[in-house]
Structure formats: structure tokens, C-alpha cells
């Protein structure tokens, strides 16, 4: 079964984006995984993601994005149907108070076993936590868009989103290892653990 890992291009003047660096590093280490870089652009990100799903026909999609200021790897549990951009994207667009999908549900929950993934990441000695807010920027747009694609076009596909820290807060190799663990957990665990977990950032 193929795993599709995605990360974002650098944005907001940065030279690199650890979400893409870690996703590509994790994919190199796995024989069942492909990595695709998504543009940090509202108009282009979801078409690129859909094209990658069509091209690779994965069983699992794990999208990753940078969450500046977070200390943990944070698998996201819920995506909301809202874009409210605090800064322009790489194409200069800055939509405010608009839906990701007009007429779509207010929210989608991940279909990845995020609690089990967090437990596995912590067992590997890395900091992790379930998150209940993916923000309202391109990360949340891609997360919501992925789940909408699963609901409307790709039934049976499992997917979700993981926010990763800046490289200054966690080594790139550790971030890649965490994404690797999320992928392994998604492939092997089909019912999440029944335990309380989660944080608001």
C-alpha cells in the first residue's frame, strides 16, 4: 500500500520549510512512500494535492505543515471550513472569512489514528500531542480539502494532517522520524485508542 506524504514550499520569506524537508526525507527511507511538495498558495494547493492522489493512488495520505512556535509534532484531529489568512500566501492572496469549500460541512475529522500515532511517537522519545486546531491558513485549507476529497471522490482513502515544529525546536531527522511513525501507525492501526488526549495551541 502506498503512502503519500506532502509538505509545503517555503513561505513568508523563509528559505526552507521543514514540513517538506522532513516529508521528503521520510519518503527516501521508505519503499512504500512518495513525497510531493505542495505550493503554499490558496488557489494552487488543493489542485496539486488532488493531482498527487490521482497520480499515486495511495492508501494513506499524511499532509504536513509548519506550525511556528510549537514544541511538539502535533497530528491534527479536526479541520474547519474557514480561511482567514493572517499573511498573504506565496501568490499574494490573503482571503479573509471565506469557506474552504462553499456549502461544505462546518468541519471534518481526520481518519488517521492520531492518538495511537502520538503514543507511538512518544514511545520513540519524541515530543508529540494531538491538536484540535489546524489554524485558518493554507495548512487548514489543505487538511479540510483533503478530507472533502476523501468524502466526495476517494472513498476508502485514509488521511489527515500533521503540524511540525521549526527545525530550531526539533532536529529535521526527528521530524522525519515522527512522520514515518505516523505513516506506519496509519497503515497498521485501524481503530484509534480510546484515551483522552489533545491540546489547543
Q: Where are the beta strands (DSSP E) in 118-192?
A: 158-164
Mark whether 63 is an active-site residue: no
139 counts as catalytic: yes
Question: How far is C-alpha 192 from the geometric centre of its chain's CA atoms?
Answer: 18
Q: Can you tell me the distance from the alpha carbon of 171 to that of 169, in angstroms, rounded to the nearest whole number?
A: 7
At 134 the three-state DSSP class reads coil
Contact at 8 Å (CB) between 53 and 154? yes
Which cell goes with 158? 485514509
Which residue among the candidates 122, 139, 166, 191 is catalytic per the annotation? 139
Minimal CA–CA distance to 120: which of 112, 110, 128?
128
Choosing from 76, 122, 153, 191, which is the catalytic residue? 76
Q: From the centroid of its chain, how far is CA 50?
A: 14
- Which residues does 14 contact at the CB level (< 8 Å), separation at least 6? none
- Of 171, 172, 146, 150, residue with least CA distance to 161: 146
Question: How many Å apart are CA 1 and CA 3, to the nearest integer?
Answer: 7
Which residues are catalytic, by number?
A: 76, 139
Amino acid at each position: 500500500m502506498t503512502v503519500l506524504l506532502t509538505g509545503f514550499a517555503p513561505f513568508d520569506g523563509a528559505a526552507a520549510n521543514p514540513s517538506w524537508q522532513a516529508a521528503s526525507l521520510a519518503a527516501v527511507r521508505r519503499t512504500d512512500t512518495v513525497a510531493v511538495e505542495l505550493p503554499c498558495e490558496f488557489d494552487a494547493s488543493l489542485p496539486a494535492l488532488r493531482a498527487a492522489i490521482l497520480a499515486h493512488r495511495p492508501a494513506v495520505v499524511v499532509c504536513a505543515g509548519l506550525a511556528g512556535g510549537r514544541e511538539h509534532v502535533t497530528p491534527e484531529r479536526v479541520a474547519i471550513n474557514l480561511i482567514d489568512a493572517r499573511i498573504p500566501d506565496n501568490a499574494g492572496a490573503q482571503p479573509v472569512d471565506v469557506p474552504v469549500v462553499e456549502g461544505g460541512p462546518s468541519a471534518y475529522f481526520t481518519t488517521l489514528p492520531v492518538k495511537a500515532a502520538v503514543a507511538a511517537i512518544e514511545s520513540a522519545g519524541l515530543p508529540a500531542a494531538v491538536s484540535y486546531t489546524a489554524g485558518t491558513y493554507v495548512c487548514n485549507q489543505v487538511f479540510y480539502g483533503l478530507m472533502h476529497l476523501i468524502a466526495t471522490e476517494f472513498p476508502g482513502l485514509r488521511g489527515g494532517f500533521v503540524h511540525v515544529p521549526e527545525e530550531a525546536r526539533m532536529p529535521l531527522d526527528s521530524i522525519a522520524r515522527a512522520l514515518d511513525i505516523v505513516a506506519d501507525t496509519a497503515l497498521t492501526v485501524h481503530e484509534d485508542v480510546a484515551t483522552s488526549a489533545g491540546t489547543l495551541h
